[in-house]
Chains A and B, each alone.
Chain A
């Protein structure tokens, strides 16, 4: 298209180029706009958690839990008269991206951080925070190394340790099902899966004979690949094994796939007890009335804590924000992490330097949605009750399932002794 008049001419290409250039420059303008929150001098907390990718669902619980806590604290007058502000970053479920985000926040002077749910990231945080003068409160990272061989004074776990979680589950099993002596496992073939199984075996060998006077028989675990779409062969192998109790620590979407594929094989008909270490409402929300009757560990069950105003507020605020009636425990972990920082800041008088905060957090007892938690001074591990729900299919319930039982095991009865810097020692078969 040539045009006869002299003047600006826009071709399609020019338009494309301009659009691309504008698109490229638009986000960059944010680089030079200083933050609009210098006025009220808030205490800034950094939240680094997955907000995209495979773990985004868990990350969204973490984010909501932290935001609800911060809003409530600010509505009640803040900490020492100063409001809290969250600086939120996406860890993209990638350890490298998570450390980049953590360092970027540290560079801005945000040295009090929380939100880690990944074991790999949690382990990387120790040396990083020690070097840069920061602290991080993890919100569901499951590795036992955190308070053992990779212990770092700058990293705290506000939730139950994997050891407490498995010991709580086994105590419940031994008390409720003393006649189910033969156990098998379907375990994801990665770090978390193998760790949970090793602790499961150790707890079985220690507690089951103590409580029941019987020796448990434990089959070889069936290791399933992580992130696989097809578990049928593994399920078939499990059906052939002569166990009556099934333990699984398959995680997230993998657990849903596994349970859905196991249903037609009759795996749940043959087992008397199914124990799931950590999936909370994930499987029943996907399977509705096809859900097998399962005991699952949880960081927090809202109806198990109805006499606790913090829990009630967290639940009501969460439902009001999202419309989802089934918040999962990670929300309470992040919520607790914010309250732990609040209590620590009140102790330090608003001082945010790492050594002051660490000194305030060590041995700290604070209120949370699951009741009182204490951060053990020796290894930064929270002593917290282990919450376990029984979820059963209920065809007449609109969701297809219901929580039919709830157990809360006191934390100090199941937590391992503090041995920072040393490997967790476990009995094995």
Chain B
């Protein structure tokens, strides 16, 4: 666990994701044509019809590098590393970077690049993953594809677009489904991506200092920890590890590469788990979180938390992608705030009961 870098020296990066046809390019065009006074460097997969005069436009090809240990979840995007390095040679030419991913891309290697590559980490910080979803088709996409589910799971901000094409009842269903996958993403509704740019850019959602201020619902989502909504079937969490689940990935490096993808067709495989406790014992918690991320890393899409450690006046903020965990002290607990530790996991095949019990065991005595 390392300290965060000096944020002021790092260029903010917004990752724009969303399934084919959801409206990413429309949003990108809006961002680039709006009079916001910011200069963007835009990394796209192919030069499309985006007409940009004042912004730097770079083509990239989503080249994934696996780390040498062969671990499928320790991947970074090589093209992104190179592009960011090249952009740093002109760092006075722009204020922020937008990375547009292809509609079917896995957002994990993008997010991980900003944690795992030292050069990128020093130069840039992930501001937020923004997912655009098509209100009319997203439920079907979530049934069909793991990628659409991953995009929702990874997102900090979700733009539910094309709301004019669905009824209010359908829209409510879409929102409920999205929230069941990712309870802490901030949702916005839009037609033709008509959203205030400030709601999408410069969110600081990956910024440890700002996780809470931007996720006002984060603490309020208490019901996820011990109660469930109408669509939730808790038995799933433990029963899912049945005959077809090979939970023997204790060997976190060099495991079966097919593992993360063997649930194709399992339409409800991503779930979120929210854990709650009071003061924690850091000597128990850190070994635990390290162990959880080592063993369950391939299944953990995102993890975020705000923690109270015994005898520590400061809040500790933690977040992770797969096996990468990052944490730091944030600020003093206010007197008005209850000293409460909360941790959210979004992942596939996570064993809810084991996580809850082992987290509870980290409570300070």
Q: Is the A/B pair a real complex?
A: no
- Which B residues contact A (CB, under 8 angstroms)? none
- Which A residues contact B (CB, under 8 angstroms)? none
